[in-house]
Amino acid sequence: MASTEADSSNATTANTENATSKIIKIQSNDGQIFEIDQGVVEQSSTIKTLSDLMDVGEVPIPLPNVKASILGPIVEFCNHHKNDPKPEPLDDDDDDDPNKDIYEPKRSDDIIEWDQNFIKQFTVAEGTLFDIIMAANYLGIKTLLAVGCKTIANMVRGKSSSEVREMFNISYDPPGEGLNAPNAIEGQAGTVPTTQDANATGPSPQPDPMNQ
Amino acid sequence: MKRSGVNLLDLPNEILFNILKKLDNTDVLYSLFDINNERLDNIVREETFSNTLNFTLTVRNTIIIGSVLDRFCNYILPQIHYNVKCLIVAPASIERILLATHYPNLTELKLLDFQRDSSLRYFTGEQML
């Protein structure tokens, strides 16, 4: 009896250890492979979904939207946070909540020190701050996405529009286009194009035909 | 320093909204209104960023300063007044803000640090706003 109970206990422990120590491989779009454990997988809804759907085995999960120079730090971030308690679901879209204290300023100054130091390696000038934000969004890592978005919010707060334009190198609409088009505006209040080519650069996109 | 081609406007709208929702509406409007980029301007003119305007929030322990109030009263508020449903004001700025434009859809006016004697005059008698 005693040996049977011990065997059962050992089997349970082994199963638990196997679950947490299960290693999967992910691959950046430039071919670098990273090994991550289940604690990291759980933080990325994209990787979790892909690992559930694919019988991965030794085959790395490809992540075509993320390069190694970004994926590496992301793995570091997730490794650091894998023992964090699960956060309560946040609903940022709670403007209609009557209990919300609208006298309290919105918080973006609550980034913990480790995360602040982590995000400092990514800059606006090099574009890497936006790379990490887009990667966090693609991978479904909400904590990292929040850190990135809060960082940009903190950079904007208190700045004039000219300072923001300079800080983020925001292009003016060329003459005759965008806000400077002959038929620009007033009716566009309250309308926003819902799709954007995230790879678009240069002049701002044409007005959304659905909103004309 | 090498400047990358990747910039703020490469982020999709959902992320831009995520960023801006971490700011108070007055911060969004002050920093991004009429930045002369169509896409950002369209986003900032969304009702969600002007439905409720709280002019009592302190920024780094500094009450809203004159130049900021000037920009709102002379330029921003007259252009987004239709969206404003709730204003939160302090005695120091109530007169300028309420007289800056008309607010046809205003349904809530909240006064912080309401002092009966000094503030009541705005709602009665000759100085009624």
Q: Which residue has the higher pLDDT, A98 or B124?
A: B124
Task: Enumerate the residues of chain B whose CB falls inside 8 A of the CB of residue A205.
Answer: 38-39
- Work out the average pLDDT over B22-36: 93
pLDDT at A200 (0 to 100): 40
Tokens of A108: 């973006």
Q: Which domain holds residue B54?
A: 11-122
Q: Is residue B76 part of a domain?
A: yes
Q: How many domains does chain B have?
A: 1
Q: What is the maximal distance between C-alpha atoms in chain A?
A: 88
- In-domain check, residue B4: no
DSSP A110-157: ---HHHHHHHTTS-STTSHHHHHHHHHHHHT-HHHHHHHHHHHHHHHT
How far is the C-alpha of B23 from the C-alpha of B28, rounded, in Å?
6
pLDDT of B113 higher than 60: yes
Read off the pLDDT band of A154 (50, 70, 90): very high
Residues 6+ apart with CB under 8 A from A60: A25, A26, A27, A33
Q: Which contiguous run of DSSP H or E holds residue B15?
A: helix B13-20
Please indicate, yes or no, if residue B32 is contained in any of the structural domains: yes
Q: In what order do the strands lie in the sheet with B86-89?
A: B52-54, B86-89, B108-111
The residue in chain B having the minimum alpha-carbon distance to the alpha carbon of residue A211 is B42
Q: Which residue has the higher pLDDT, A1 or B116?
A: B116
Confidence at A135, pLDDT banded by 50, 70, 90: very high
- Other CB atoms within a 10 A radius of the CB of residue B111 amount to 16
Nearest CA in chain B to A188: B42
Band (pLDDT 50/70/90 cuts) for residue B57 is confident
Dist CA B20 CA A212 (whole Å): 25
Q: Is residue B129 situated within a structural domain? A: no
Backbone angles phi, psi at B53, to 5 degrees: -120, 120
* pLDDT tens-digit series, residues A96-105: 454 455 555 5
This complex has an ipTM of 0.86
Residue B111 has a pLDDT of 86
A69, A28, A21, A68: which is closest to A47 by C-alpha? A28
Alpha-carbon distance values, B32 to A9, A18, B25, B44, B83 (Å): 61, 51, 10, 7, 17
Q: Regarding the domain with residue range A21-85+99-167, which homologous superfamily does it belong to in the CATH classification? A: Potassium Channel Kv1.1; Chain A (3.30.710.10)
The answer to whether residue B1 sits within a structural domain is no
Q: Where along chain A do its domains lie?
A: 21-85+99-167
Beta carbon pairs, A and B, within 8 Å? 166
Q: Which residues contact B108 (CB under 8 A, 6 or more apart)?
A: B85, B86, B87
Question: Burial level of A169, CB count in 10 A (0-12/13-18/19+)?
Answer: middle
Q: What is the mean pLDDT of residues A10-18?
A: 49
> A45: helix, coil or strand?
helix
Q: Which residue of B has its CA nearest to A134?
A: B11
User: Residues A57-102: pLDDT tens digits?
Assistant: 788 999 999 999 999 999 999 999 999 887 666 555 544 454 455 5
- Chain B environment of A128 (Cβ under 8 Å): 4, 6
The answer to the question of residue B39 being in a domain is: yes
Listing DSSP states for A54-65 in one string gives S--TTSPEE-TT
Query: Which burial class, exposed, middle or buried, applies to A52 when counting CB atoms under 10 A from its CB (0-12, 13-18, 19+)?
Result: exposed
Averaged pLDDT for residues B1-16: 80
B117 occurs within a structural domain: yes
> How far is the C-alpha of A111 from the C-alpha of A132, rounded, in Å?
16
Q: What is the mean pLDDT of residues A107-111?
A: 75
